[in-house]
Chain A
Amino acid sequence: MTTRRTEVLAAVLTFFVGVALCPAAVLAADDYQESSRLLKEGRRAEALDRVDAFLTQHPKDARARFLKGVVLTEQGKTDDAIKVFMELTQDYPELPEPYNNLAVLYAGQGDYQKARKALETAIRPHPSYAVAHENLGDIYATLASLAYDKALQLDSGNATARKKLALIKELVPAKSAATLARVESDKSPVPTSGSRPNTIEPPAASKAPAEASPADKLTGDKQAEMTTSGADTADGVVKMLEAWARAWSNNDAEAYLAFYAPDFRTPNGEPRKEWEAARRQRLAKPKKIRVTTSSPRVKSTDNTHAVVTFRQSYSSGNLKSVGTKSLQVVRIGDRWLIEQELIDK
Chain B
Amino acid sequence: MIQKLALRHGARARAITLPLLAAVILAGDVSAMGSHPGRLARTLRMPETMLVEALIDIRNNRLGTALERVDALLAVKPDFRLAQLVKGDLLMARARPIPTLGAADAPAERLNDLRDEARARLARYTVPPPSDRVPKYLVQLQAEQRYAVVVDTAKSTLYLFENREGMPRYLADYYITVGKNGTNKLREGDKKTPVGVYHVTGQLARDKLDPFYGSGAFPISYPNEWDARLGRNGHGIWLHGTPRDTYSRPPRASDGCVVLANEDLDDLAKRVQIGVTPVVIADNIEWIPLQATQTLRATLNEHMDNWRADWESRNAERYLQHYSRAFSADNTNLAQWSAQKRYVNANKDWIRVRLSAASMFLYPGRDDLAVINFLQDYSSSNLSNKMRKRQYWIREGSTWKILYEGAG
> Which A residues fall within an 8 A CB radius of B?
4-5, 7-8, 10-12, 14-15, 18, 100, 103-104, 107, 112, 115-116, 119, 136-141, 143-148, 150-154, 156, 186-189, 191, 194, 196, 263, 265-266, 269, 271-272
Contacts and interface: CB of A to CB of B under 8 A. Distances in A.
B10 A150 contact: no
B54 to A, nearest CB: 13
Give the interface residue-count category, chain B.
35 or more
A107 B19 CA distance: 11
B81 A137 contact: no
A263 B12 CA distance: 24
A149 to B, nearest CB: 8
B75 interface: yes
Given A147-B85, A186-B9, A14 B104 contact: no
A103 B88 CA distance: 26
B16 A187 contact: no
A189 B64 contact: yes
B12 A189 contact: no
10 closest pairs, A vs B, by CB?
A186-B6, A11-B5, A147-B88, A148-B104, A151-B84, A151-B85, A144-B92, A187-B10, A144-B91, A137-B95
Contacts of A271: 72, 75
Contacts of B1: 14
Nearest to A139: B95
Contacts of B176: none
Contact of B114 (A100, A141, A151): A151
A103 B13 contact: yes
A191 B75 contact: no
B95 A144 contact: yes
Chain A CB count within 10 A is highest, among B3, B9, B89, B110, for: B9
A138 B87 contact: no
Contacts of A143: 91
A14 B347 CA distance: 104
Nearest to B10: A187
B386 interface: no
A186 B68 CA distance: 18
B84 A150 contact: yes
Interface string B55-84: 000000000100000011011101001111
Contacts of A5: 12
Contact of A152 (B6, B9, B14, B114): B114
Contacts of A150: 78, 81, 84
B158 to A, nearest CB: 24
Contacts of A144: 87-92, 95, 103-104
A315 to B, nearest CB: 31
Chain A CB count within 10 A is highest, among B64, B104, B107, for: B104
B376 to A, nearest CB: 53
Contacts of B84: 147-148, 150-151
Given A119-B16, A144-B87, 13 more contacts: A12-B9, A116-B17, A140-B94, A144-B88, A147-B88, A148-B88, A151-B82, A151-B88, A153-B81, A186-B9, A187-B6, A194-B3, A263-B74
B94 to A, nearest CB: 4
B238 to A, nearest CB: 23
B12 A4 contact: yes
A178 to B, nearest CB: 14
Nearest to B3: A186
Contacts of B105: 148, 156
B7 interface: yes
Contacts of A147: 84-85, 87-88, 91
Contacts of A12: 9
Given A147-B91, A266-B75, A271-B72, A152 B12 contact: no
A151 B16 contact: no
Contacts of B164: none
Nearest to A18: B2
Interface string B101-113: 0111111001100
A265 B75 contact: yes
Contacts of A11: 2, 5-6, 8-9
A15 B95 contact: no
B7 A191 contact: yes
Nearest to A148: B104
B81 A189 contact: no
Given A141-B96, A148-B84, A7 B5 contact: yes
A147 B71 CA distance: 11
Interface string B213-249: 0000000000000000000000000000000000000
A8 B88 contact: no
Given A8-B12, A137-B96, A151 B75 contact: no
Contact of A189 (B10, B87, B96, B106): B10
A185 to B, nearest CB: 8
B73 to A, nearest CB: 11
9 contacts: A11-B8, A15-B2, A115-B16, A119-B16, A186-B3, A187-B9, A194-B3, A263-B74, A272-B71
Contacts of A156: 105
A83 B252 CA distance: 54
B25 interface: no
Given A103-B13, A186-B10, A263-B74, A191 B89 contact: no
Given A140-B94, A154-B106, A148 B85 contact: yes
B11 interface: yes
Nearest to B89: A144
A115 B91 CA distance: 20
A148 B107 CA distance: 12
